[in-house]
Amino acid sequence: MQPQTETLIQGLVAVPGDPGLLQLLGNQLEASGDWPTLRRVFLQQLAHVPKGSDLEAYVAYLSAKACHELGESREALSLAGRAVQLNAGFAYGHHLHGHCLARAGRRSEAIAAQHRCAELAPAFPWRSEEHTSELQSPDHLVCRLLLEK
């Protein structure tokens, strides 16, 4: 763990739910792929953020992403659902929720979540050239979504 990461975590212990610290730490842990630490810290922080806020949606989203990456499908689905319920305009939340729904075998709901993401963010990264190889598989969720349009 990087020294800056530990400092940010200690900051959240001293000032639980601080939006700036959560943003900095979330960006750092997500970029480094430190899913276990992200999961542990952000699940703890959920109790300290204002209920019903965009900050709660952000913390739930990153917690869901960490759980999803760690294969904790049930918890990821619950948290991703919470994130989009709290902030219905959060495209990345709908995208993650769609992946969680797909993993749970809830195909039509997963596609609906991806459609919502596409409505909210027409220039979402899956349309970029760097994701073309992913989209060439008809089994890929986003590919199915685009083919069904």
What confidence tens digit (pLDDT) does each residue in 62-85 have? 999 999 999 999 999 999 999 999
With a cut of 90, say whether residue 143 has pLDDT above it: no
With a cut of 60, say whether residue 149 has pLDDT above it: no
Three-state DSSP state, 50: coil
Instruction: Return d(Cα 61, Cα 76) in angstroms, integer.
Output: 9
For the stretch 19-34, pLDDT in tens is 999 999 999 999 999 9
Q: 108, 106, 42: which is closest to 77 by C-alpha? A: 106
15: left (phi over 0), alpha (psi -120 to 50) or beta: beta
CB under 8 Å to 124, separation ≥6 — which residues? 91, 95, 117, 118
Confidence of residue 140 (pLDDT cuts 50, 70, 90): low
For the stretch 104-116, pLDDT in tens is 999 999 999 998 9
The model carries a pTM of 0.83
